[in-house]
Amino acid sequence: MRRVAITGLGSLSALGNDVAAHLAGLKAGTVGIGQTQGVDVSSMKTRISAEVKGFKPEEHFEPRQLGLIDRTSQFAVTVARQALADAGPALEGAARHRVGAIFAASVGFHAVDDSYHKLYFDKAPRPHPFTVPRAMPSGQVSHVTMDLGIHGPSFSIASACSSASHSIGTAFHMIRSGMLDVAVAGGGESQLTYGMLKSWEALRVLSADGCRPFSKDRNGLVIGEGAGAIVLEEMDRAIARGARIHAELIGFGMSADGMDITAPDMASAAASMRFALEDAGLAPEAVDYVSAHGTATALNDKTETAALRLVFGAHLGKLPVSSSKSQYGHTMNASGALDCVTTVLALREGFLPPTMGFTTPDPDCDLDCVPNEARAAAPQIALSSSFAFGGLNAVLALKRYQG
């Protein structure tokens, strides 16, 4: 099987609008969560979120494009551009049918919210004429292919909060098997609209005062927005063209709980981690760091910890497990991509991202969660986990690249 290199990174999050800002925020323990500014939340109990700040669409897109592209797709295109620029001439010399793009599927929530407002509140006779293409779940990958000139296999994957991880893992398998030579993969999402914030509030899983994964006093997740993208490339090709290789993607595991639409299953989460290790040809003891799903809901963190115990046994006692959602919120369908970028940076730069907001140890979450500040380290092997509503799980195994 062919090896797969990661040669490009792109990110947009509450920590900053590019990878350099994201990395600086991770290392500094910056928390990008604060009072929501882009939506009137005065009628809500939950008034905090992790917003992307200072993003001006007109600086990234021509006026004629703005009527066709939702905020989610704007984010996706922006990070895809970043990742491809970072990868250098990754597409030069590649056969057009052997370059693909695989991104998370996500509804254009801003387009939908705007249209409903026009119809129901303003009593307009019709919504925006491009509401359908702006809102369609395949919108972001469509815009990425058009923007970057990609003509090979390209599509969206919908698995809620595992969507971006499934997208990256699928691209990895397509390169490893020989179907593709280069792929841009990831996901973007912005659910920061009045309608979606009220909907999440109705589900009673939001925190009103912060994201504290694995802490005993955790009380819910914080909605974030953003996007992440990586360029994946066949290893020999990347080496031959002198590309900078950020890390190597070595395994991908998937599972389905088959049980409940919202409650996670310990055994199934553990299975997806085991499958990623098997795919990579690794023993559990080889893992040096886990970037956890870690949403800070009571049940998710407890279940994830139990799944980690099943997989790692005694090794869990010396295995750092942190959740960067404590810094940039839960970006939903984009979260796996941002968490993957975060994990790649940890391997490349030699540090462990922190779990911010941690206050009180929980006996049900007895982990080394790297509390409240980043830690110098030299992880060689890491997992990046995503466990979604509907019980759809995806885990990526990554390796530090040493030439």
Q: How far apart are CA 144 and CA 73, in angstroms?
A: 8
Residue 295 and residue 219 in one domain: no
Q: What is the pLDDT of residue 157?
A: 98
Contact indicator for 381, 288 with CB cutoff of 8 Å:
yes
Q: What is the mean pLDDT of residues 380-390?
A: 98
Residue 268 and residue 224 in one domain: no
Q: What is the pLDDT of residue 1?
A: 85
Residue 61 and residue 138 in one domain: yes
**330 labelled catalytic:** yes
Is residue 66 pLDDT above 90, yes or no? yes
Q: What is the pLDDT of residue 80?
A: 98
187 is a domain residue: yes
17 is a domain residue: yes
Residue 87 and residue 17 in one domain: yes
Residue at a domain's end among 190, 221, 240:
240
Residue 257 and residue 190 in one domain: no
Range in 125-129, 218-222, 299-303 the model is least confident about? 125-129
The first and second tokens of residue 402, run together, are 């040493």
CATH code assigned at 198: 3.40.47.10
Q: How much of the chain is in helix, strand and coil states, percent to nearest 5?
A: 40, 20, 35
Report DSSP state, residue 330.
Answer: B
The catalytically annotated residue of 22, 330, 340, 369 is 330
The catalytically annotated residue of 22, 110, 143, 161 is 161
148 is a domain residue: yes
- The Cα angle at residue 100 between residues 95 and 106, in degrees rounded to 5: 165
Q: What is the mean pLDDT of residues 391-401?
A: 98
Q: How do residues 137-196 score in pLDDT, each as one tens digit?
A: 999 999 999 999 999 999 999 999 999 999 999 999 999 999 999 999 999 999 999 999
Q: How far apart are CA 245 and CA 243, in angstroms?
A: 6
Q: How confident is the model at residue 386 (pLDDT cuts 50, 70, 90)?
A: very high
Q: How do residues 245-294 score in pLDDT, each as one tens digit?
A: 999 999 999 999 999 999 999 999 999 999 999 999 999 999 999 999 99
Q: What is the pLDDT of residue 234?
A: 98
Residue 168 and residue 267 in one domain: no
Q: How far apart are CA 104 and CA 226, in angstroms?
A: 12
Pair type for strands 289-291 and 321-322: parallel
246 is a domain residue: no
Residue 281 and residue 392 in one domain: yes
Q: What is the mean pLDDT of residues 4-32?
A: 98
Percent share of the chain, pLDDT over 90: 99
Give the global pTM: 0.98
Is residue 16 pLDDT above 90, yes or no? yes
Q: How confident is the model at residue 364 (pLDDT cuts 50, 70, 90)?
A: very high
Residue at a domain's end among 240, 273, 308:
240
- Dmax (CA) for the chain in angstroms is 64
Q: How far apart are CA 368 and CA 154, in angstroms?
A: 39
Q: What is the pLDDT of residue 95?
A: 97
Q: What is the mean pLDDT of residues 72-76?
A: 98
**246 labelled catalytic:** no
The first and second tokens of residue 324, run together, are 């960067």
Find where tokens 């030299």 sit.
Answer: 378
Residue 204 and residue 286 in one domain: no
184 is a domain residue: yes
Structural domain including 262 reads 251-399
Q: How far apart are CA 281 and CA 184, in angstroms?
A: 25
Q: What is the pLDDT of residue 403?
A: 84
Q: What is the pLDDT of residue 114?
A: 95
Residue 221 and residue 279 in one domain: no
What is the number of domains present in the chain? 2
Q: What is the pLDDT of residue 118?
A: 93
The first and second tokens of residue 365, run together, are 């979450």
Residue 225 and residue 265 in one domain: no
Phi first, then psi: give them for residue 167, nearest 5 degrees: -65, -45
Residue 39 and residue 87 in one domain: yes
**Average pLDDT of the residues of the chain:** 97
**60 labelled catalytic:** no
83 is a domain residue: yes
Residue at a domain's end among 185, 220, 240:
240
Contact indicator for 369, 323 with CB cutoff of 8 Å:
yes
The catalytically annotated residue of 110, 166, 293, 340 is 293
145 is a domain residue: yes
Residue 320 and residue 209 in one domain: no
- Please list the residues that pair with 387 across neighbouring strands: 393
Residue 201 amino acid letter: E
Is residue 397 pLDDT above 90, yes or no? yes
- Please list the residues that pair with 156 across neighbouring strands: 103
245 is a domain residue: no
Identify the H or E element spanning 185: strand 182-189
Q: What is the pLDDT of residue 183?
A: 98
Length of the chain: 403
